[in-house]
Amino acid sequence: MIEPLTPVIGVESVPEGEAEQIAEIAELMVKLLEQRYRDGKPFLRGVHPKAHGCARATFTVNADIRDELRVGVFASPGASYEAVVRFSNAAALVGPDIQDMVKDGVKTRQNGSRGMGLKVQGLPYASLATDEPGTQDFLMVNFPVFPFANVSDYLALTRAQLTFEPDNAGVFSAFGAQLAKNGAAVRVKRALEISAAIQQTATIDPLATEYFGAAPFLFGPDRVMKFAVRPTPPAAETSLPDSVDDHYLRAALAKRLREADVAFDFAVQVRAPSLEAEVEDVTKAWDSVAYQSVATIAIPTQDIDAPDLASRCESLFFTPWHSLPEHRPVGGINRLRLAVYRASVDRRRRLPELH
């Protein structure tokens, strides 16, 4: 695949000791998987194990894309590529789509983080990765920022998970105690705020939701980008009923795609690298930078339960490092993702007799 790369000068600044922390997190991720999938159970993804379904799609660069945005995947106005999308829940374990929390007799709805993986294939361009040449993956969640700022904070989280999972309150309290010890209590507050906001974000159906890349990427040699997708036309405002089925998101996805074609607008925020871009901290949003539309994802009517599609869905591998060099992932959380996604896919693809 790809070796860890040297930092992008003028964009990234790598804290001392980060490579060792990344190696530890990748190792702990495999231990977590071994803890979760004992007794011959099939190994699933380290995060986002529950798929609502996959769908075939087409990714088309806007014919009228502005000159200065014709970079990487977006270089050729009007070009269309085959793509596949996978909709998922981020939760580490497969469970109901909504898990209500009852505290002091009061029920609070916990919506959970939702994911969309987009794999654009057959690109006539060189890729960073050798395992899937001509592919650009875009991984997104339904919130514009990620709760854990950098590699060091993510290490505290992973260590806490290994001891306390599946007790989420225990994980958070151990994570908070470690960050307070590291003099980073302010980031505990921020992580809690972002996590609470995610839990309050209701998803009516996976196709009626906005998704965000959250982390930064290069946009050619001298700019950085974040990206997001929105349903087009925009989804109607509705709310969830008081009670929903445990797998209502899969049912909603299947129903919508049996009945109609759908589309998402793909937009980018592009800026020069600078301190304000906060490349090393994914808890910071780029509120001052406008989104500019660059492409459309068209998802035609289809049966997501068709055997070929459903079986392919589980074996697909999405990583932000399936990327053209022009969109190379940058920042600590993305440097971490290079090793951790590889560790996760290698573990889940190992043959059962070797478990």
The answer to whether residues 23 and 261 touch, using CB atoms and an 8 Å cutoff, is no
CA gap 322, 138 in Å, rounded:
9
Least distance CB 338 / ligand HEM (angstroms): 9
Q: Interaction with ligand HEM in 63-92: which residues (CB under 6 A)?
A: 86, 88
Residue 263 has phi, psi (to 5 degrees) of -145, 155
Query: From residue 11 to residue 50, what is the string marking binding to ligand HEM with x (rule CB under 6 A)?
Result: --------------x-------------------xxxx--
Distances (CA, A) of 204 to 28, 141, 149, 197, 241: 34, 15, 28, 16, 9
Peptide bond into 77 cis (omega under 30): no
Find where tokens 């060099």 sit. 325
269 binds ligand HEM (CB under 6 A): no
Nearer to ligand HEM, 98 or 338 (CB): 338
154 binds ligand HEM (CB under 6 A): yes
282 binds ligand HEM (CB under 6 A): yes
DSSP annotation of 41 reads P
Stretch that binds ligand HEM, among 59-67, 227-235, 284-292, 314-322 (CB under 6 A): 314-322
Stretch that binds ligand HEM, among 13-21, 70-78, 174-182, 331-339 (CB under 6 A): 331-339
CB-count exposure of residue 149 (10 Å: 0-12, 13-18, 19+): buried
149 binds ligand HEM (CB under 6 A): no
Query: Binding-site residue total for ligand HEM (CB under 6 A)?
Result: 30
348 binds ligand HEM (CB under 6 A): yes
DSSP string, 168-209: HHHHHHHHHHHHHHTT-HHHHHHHHHHHHHHHT---S-TTS-
Using CB under 6 A, list all residues that contact ligand HEM. 25, 45-48, 86, 88, 115-117, 139-141, 146, 154, 213-215, 282, 316-318, 333, 336-337, 340-341, 344-345, 348
